[in-house]
Amino acid sequence: MTAYTVQAIQLTYSAESQQTDVQQVTLTLSGSQDLTFSYQYSYVEQGNDSLFRYIDTTAFEKSGALWSVEVLSAPPGTVGELSLNRFEVSYLSIERGTLSGSMNYPDAVFDYAFMGQDNGDGSTTTLLVPLDQNFPDVFGASFTLADWNELADHVFATEIQTGPFAPGAVFSLDDIAYDTKTQNDVVNGTAFDDLYNLGVGKDVAWGQAGNDTLNGGNGNDFLYGQNGNDDLFGGNGFDKLVGGNGHDRLFGGAHADELIGGAGNDVLRGGDGIDLLSGGTGRDLYDGGKGFDTAEFRSEIAGVTVDLSASQAINGEGRVEKVINIEQVIGSHFDDVLIGDAKRNSFIGLGGSDHFEGGDGLDVVRYDTDFERGGASGIFADLLQGNVTDGFGWTDTLSNIEVLVGSTVADKIFGSHGRDRIYGEAGNDKIAGRGGHDLLYGEAGNDLLNGGGGHDKLFGGGGRDRLIGGAGNDTMTGGAGADTFVFTAQFGHDVVTDLTAQDRLNFSAVTDITDAEAFIVAFVSVGREELFIQIDDQRSVTLEGFTDEAALADLLIL
């Protein structure tokens, strides 16, 4: 059988096909330290097809920031196999030292080649073609002269390459003129220990196997270590770092980053910014760094106990983990115990019957994600009893919690006798403050807010809200929509901050006057930028920014 030396072959396969018979070529680089890289098969997307290029070392192809050399070879006499030897040199910012080295590549000699036949259904039939033009009988009538001519069109030469890039020659990497473009890099690593400094831009890097180091640099980067014990550095920008399998170290850097450890004992350090840290399986370390940072345990297989005051967590596997510089905790889908520290803390329980215990700071429990995560209803909360039925139907217990955030559907929330801060979020909510000086926020929806006793502040938000100040000196802001401000018989010196012509003032519980015109004559005075309603020494209403005394009669409900 005659052996041919082929300079280049190009084969187009469908996107569903895969090339699995792959060998490796090793490129040794010498710089600040000795590094060895081995690159395996990869492909370039071209439309709906994947274009596989088989090129000898005479060709240097510039593609964005990538210069590549690809070598095709197979030992003489090989039957049924075709191997691809390939290495890539990608321009990466070299911060220290110099890059130099050499490569010795094998002869590109083989007896058989592959050719793909598109079947028109998304698949490709791969044919093994001998280069001596003797068609094997196994192909029968399906392999024709036209098929052979199609292959022959891609054979550019049959002579052996000579010169500095001849088979067996050694050339220096210093002779390669690298493209200096470093923005928006896409890097696919190897099965060995890789080092990538990606520089400026929105970079994407997969480390593959090996103990890799991925430096994102400036820009919003996605770094995925995959297998091996990897070090990932986000740098400046809003980065997402995923460790994968192995004992990984993830460093977020500046701005808001997302760090996901995956399997293994991982170290997650958020750095500056508002970071989200999720450890995964294993025994992990969470360090939020500066900013208001979140430790998330939603992937755990059982309930967790997180005590921020003790800087530790017991994960769903029963392992003790280190938790420092964390301000917010997202629990698991099981029964969790989440405990705060001296700072302002926030807790999200997800599923299960959870216990939330605040510390010395202003602590909040949030249910605003229940509905989007599959919760069927709003919450029912009684802060005096310390119980909340969440959107999933589980009952949580609260201790030393000052702030409650409801769901995005209709909630019923009753405060304690202390200083409560309650947010209804979206939905038609009913919120009662009870005693204490409360802050009640209806937000979106047609809400009913009742301050109860104490000097309360009520904010209706969007929608047609009904605001009842109750006893005490209350401040009420209706927000957008046609709102009703209700004054009980025990109201004190109240303030309405944003009365408009579509709003109403309900004094039906005040029995002193029942006639609107007489009411205005008896009780209303006009200030420079407000109307003032003086019922007696204990009861008054200030209408901030409202001076139209003539229009007031139409806004009264007596």
Task: Encode pLDDT of 465-508 as tens digits.
Answer: 999 999 999 999 999 999 999 999 999 999 999 999 999 999 99
pLDDT digits (tens, 9 = 90+) for 323-360: 999 999 999 999 999 999 999 999 999 889 999 999 99
Tell me the residue type at 175. Answer: D
What CA–CA distances, in Å, run from 522 to 197, 512, 513, 538, 548?
78, 10, 9, 16, 16
Mean pLDDT rounded to a whole number for the chain: 75
User: pLDDT: is 480 or 514 the higher one?
Assistant: 480
* CB-CB contact of 425 with 444 (8 Å): yes
The CA dihedral of 391, 393, 397, 400, to the nearest 10 degrees, is: 10
Residue range 434-469, pLDDT digits in tens: 999 999 999 999 999 999 999 999 999 999 999 999
The pLDDT score that the predictor gives to residue 260 is 98
| pLDDT: which is higher, 539 or 166 | 539
**Is the pLDDT reported for residue 545 higher than 80?**
yes
**pLDDT recorded at residue 194:** 85
pLDDT at 513: 75
How high is the pLDDT of residue 140? 44
- Residue 529 — very low, low, confident or very high, per pLDDT cuts 50/70/90? confident
DSSP 436-501: SS-EEE--SSS-EEE--SSS-EEE--SSS-EEE--SB--EEE--SS--EEE--TTB-EEEES---T
Report d(CA 379, CA 382) in Å as an integer: 10
How high is the pLDDT of residue 369? 93
* Model pLDDT for residues 294-329, shown as the tens digit of each residue: 999 999 999 999 999 999 999 999 999 999 999 999
Buried residues in 494-509 as b, exposed as e (16+ CB within 10 A)? bbbbbbeeebbbbbee
Residue 219 pLDDT > 70: yes
Which residues, in sequence order, are CB contacts of 121 under 8 Å at separation 6+? Answer: none
pLDDT at 486: 98
Partners of 540 in beta bridges: 493, 534
Contact 315, 322 (CB under 8 A): no
Q: Which helix (H) or strand (E) holds 552?
A: helix 549-552
- Report the alpha-carbon distance of residue 182 to residue 131 in Å, rounded: 42
Specify the pLDDT at position 121. Answer: 53
Helix or strand (DSSP H, E) at 152: helix 145-152
Greater confidence (154 vs 400) lies with 400
Q: What's the average model confidence in pLDDT over 512-540?
A: 84
More confident residue, 146 or 87: 146
pLDDT of residue 149: 53
pTM of the model: 0.68
